Amino acid sequence: MKTIIHPTYFPNIEFFSHLIKSDDIIFEVNDNYQKQTLRNRTSIYSSNGKLDLSIPVKFSSSNKEKLRDIKICYNSNWQKRHLKSIQTAYRSSPYFSFFEEYFFEIFEKKEKYLIDVSLKSIEIIYEILEINLNYKFTNEYKRTNKAINDSRELSRRNKTGAANSIKQYHQVFEENHGFINNLSMIDLIFNQGIGSLDFFEKSNI
């Protein structure tokens, strides 16, 4: 299956299911960047419940900048904050000690463009799950393409699609806040480990 989809920052479970089901991934990088989407944010499970982590970007809606051209803003130390949030949220999870080191580089190296961090985050997940990632980029923006599974809508912040079909799994703080659906793949990996691949086979997404 050929799928066109946006590269997002540590994608959520439903988003990732579209990636691993695809034989031919095309990342959309030529549409105009939109604020308040998942292009620069992810959600994890903290002791206080759902926690959104956003990458600050340099962006002006009047300029109609393409996703591929969006630069990261380093006025605040978002990398240190994101890493600390992940460590605090998951240090007691079953697989944290196995995979923590995979995340260090992305929070140490200062990439210039948002898509480079998003792609690196996706590559980290593929590396942990020991599967190959092959992809290419769009050459131009096309509103529709009937020959391709168009999953670009999944980058909208409130777009759920088949997320409600996600099978529940153990989460560190579920006794306090219950099961939180469709979080970042970070949550699934630290709680399920390599078994995350089996999880997708059992979930109807």
Bridge partners, 113 (sequence order) = 71
| CB neighbour list of residue 11: distance below 8 Å, 6 or more residues apart | 19, 38, 42, 121, 122, 125, 184, 185
Distance CA 198, CA 89 (A): 24
What is the residue type of 96? F
pLDDT score at 159: 58
Check if the beta carbon of residue 189 is closer than 8 Å to that of residue 128: yes
pLDDT at 201: 81
pTM score, whole prediction = 0.93
- Consecutive 10-residue runs of the chain (205 residues): their mean pLDDT? 95 95 95 93 97 93 86 97 98 97 96 98 97 95 85 81 76 96 97 91 75
d(Cα 105, Cα 124) in Å, to the nearest integer?
A: 10
Total Cβ atoms within 10 A of residue 159: 15
Mode of pairing for the β-strands spanning 24-27 and 2-5: parallel
Give the DSSP H or E segment for 17: helix 13-20
How far apart CA 190 and CA 83 sit, in angstroms, is 14
